[in-house]
Amino acid sequence: MQDEHVILSPIGNIAEQCWLAVPQHFPQVQLDAYVVMPNHLHGIVIMSRMDQRPSTSLGQVINSFKGAVSRSAGQPVLQSRYYDHIIRNLQDADRIREYIHHNPARWESDQGLERAQ
């Protein structure tokens, strides 16, 4: 972290590249706001239905992303669990985008909590 901005480590760069590649592997997925933090990632995933393809779950998308990061890094990097929240309206989406945007500024005060989870 520097001046409330994230400076990505080599593994952080891998995580960001894999995150941005998700829609290439899952055409029904769009990415919205995201931030790669020193020990986790926050991101909004928009999943649309594509009737010509079998349905893909959020779990499949996240597991694929985590596997790609681990393969590219040459080691397991991300914890097996994740937190999800269904965004139900524009107000909720804006609140979460704001949280993601300001997360780097809260890193110093939150890092003990984030590491404990």
pLDDT tens for each residue of 13-47: 999 999 999 999 999 999 999 999 988 899 999 99
Within 13 Å, how many C-alpha atoms sit on residue 4's CB side? Answer: 7
Q: What was the pLDDT predicted at 98? A: 96
Blockwise average pLDDT, block size 10, the chain, 117 residues: 70 96 95 92 89 79 96 90 93 96 78 44
Alpha-carbon distance 29 to 8, whole Å?
24
